[in-house]
Chain A
């Protein structure tokens, strides 16, 4: 099935 992504790839660290 499709793989669960994490938010780190989308939202930037400061």
Chain B
């Protein structure tokens, strides 16, 4: 494997966004790119990352390899990279280590690190292709704000989407709160628009603790997409350039 990223910031942000949710992960490398799928310990949330080969330049992967990496270790090494450093990942066939180099674009500084790999027996779940009943695309900062504000009151949020819009509601010991958003187009800045596409109304309840965690990815993208269908896991997607993405799935809370 040899994969060169123009901006180390991308990998730094991805790892920052997922390291509190999952600890030891296989980075599955093949000629289409680098993928990661991992569940949190309680099997309530799942992270699915895809960094397409087009996000790297150059990208070369001659043989499929799984790089088992502890994210705490990776975070320690990535802390040594500046955001605008050029980052190159390298691994041999049947590797013991993954090699990372950080090159400063404006100086002759080159740093190089090896991280020991681990054997990780990871359970891969098949995620069915779902036609979601409601898809909401909104500014990622808006979603962060809603989850943060409501998490101050309650552990759970009810998300209701109808043709009127989407409503986030919570009930807690001190009282209750809600935030409603309507579909709207911001003509001056499309990134601030709220798009709602609905085939049938949905109402689901989710743990705010996890949603707050997912919002650590907000720095990766101006926009976030929420996909919901009744009684199935929520998909929260942060799109990256070149069709790469960071997705989170969250199992709902059901019943009373």
Contact = CB atoms under 8 A, between A and B. Distances in A.
Given A13-B125, A14-B126, A7 B39 contact: yes
Contact of B156 (A2, A7, A12): A2
B125 A2 contact: no
A8 to B, nearest CB: 6
Contacts of B207: 4
Given A7-B46, A7-B233, A8-B43, A2 B127 contact: no
A7 B235 CA distance: 12
Contacts of B253: 1-5
B189 interface: no
B252 interface: yes
Interface string B42-61: 11111000000000000000
Contacts of B124: 14
Nearest to A12: B126
A13 B125 CA distance: 5
Contact of A13 (B42, B126, B205, B255): B126
Interface residues of B, number: 24
Contacts, number: 57
A7 B254 contact: no
A6 B254 contact: no
B125 A7 contact: yes
Nearest to A3: B255
B188 interface: no
Interface string B232-247: 1100000000000000
Nearest to B249: A7
B46 to A, nearest CB: 6
A13 B124 CA distance: 7
A14 B249 CA distance: 18
Contacts of A8: 43, 125
Nearest to B124: A14
B128 A5 contact: no
B127 A11 contact: yes
A2 B155 CA distance: 11
Interface of A: 1-14
21 contacts: A1-B253, A2-B205, A2-B252, A2-B253, A3-B254, A3-B255, A4-B44, A5-B252, A7-B45, A7-B125, A7-B249, A10-B233, A10-B251, A11-B46, A11-B126, A11-B128, A11-B233, A13-B125, A13-B126, A14-B124, A14-B125
9 nearest A-B pairs in the assembled complex, by CB-CB distance: A2-B253, A11-B125, A5-B251, A12-B126, A6-B43, A7-B251, A2-B205, A4-B253, A10-B233
